[in-house]
């Protein structure tokens, strides 16, 4: 993954992510928009066969778009850890249930 900054202003950031698709960009956009200090967050893929996604962030007040982006990435990582933990727990419970069914 390579990132290229296309535009940077005090409250705006536009960058291109090489080799990514809707999967990462949609998640990032969703989490950025949960932040009340983010005025606009979105992405576009100019051409689905030949283009890399371009992400745009505009913040409110004195908040930098980099700060908003870092916090969004941290939220995603935290949710991923929570999902992993919960999935492992559910899988352990399922295995216990399956063992009991096999013994019955």
Per-residue pLDDT tens digits for 16-33: 999 898 999 999 999 999
Q: What is residue 56's predicted lDDT score, i.e. its pLDDT?
A: 98
Residue 23: which CATH number? Answer: 3.30.1360.10
Parallel, antiparallel or unpaired: strands 2-9 and 12-18: antiparallel
Q: What is residue 102's predicted lDDT score, i.e. its pLDDT?
A: 77
- Name the domain count of the chain: 1
61 backbone dihedrals φ, ψ, rounded to 5°: 65, -135
For 69, the domain range is 2-103
Q: Which segments of the chain does DSSP mark as H helices, in order?
A: 22-33, 65-103
Question: How far apart, in whole angstroms, are the C-alpha atoms of residue 56 and residue 6?
Answer: 10
């Amino acid at each position: 993954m390579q990132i290229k900054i296309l535009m940077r202003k005090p409250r705006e950031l536009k960058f291109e992510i090489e080799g990514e698709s809707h999967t990462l960009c949609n998640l990032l956009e969703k989490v950025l928009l949960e932040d009340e200090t983010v005025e606009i967050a979105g992405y576009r893929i100019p051409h689905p066969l030949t283009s890399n996604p371009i992400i745009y962030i505009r913040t409110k007040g004195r908040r930098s778009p980099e700060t908003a982006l870092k916090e969004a990435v941290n939220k995603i990582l935290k949710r991923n850890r929570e999902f992993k933990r919960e999935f492992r727990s559910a899988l352990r419970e399922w295995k216990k249930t399956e063992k009991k069914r096999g013994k019955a």
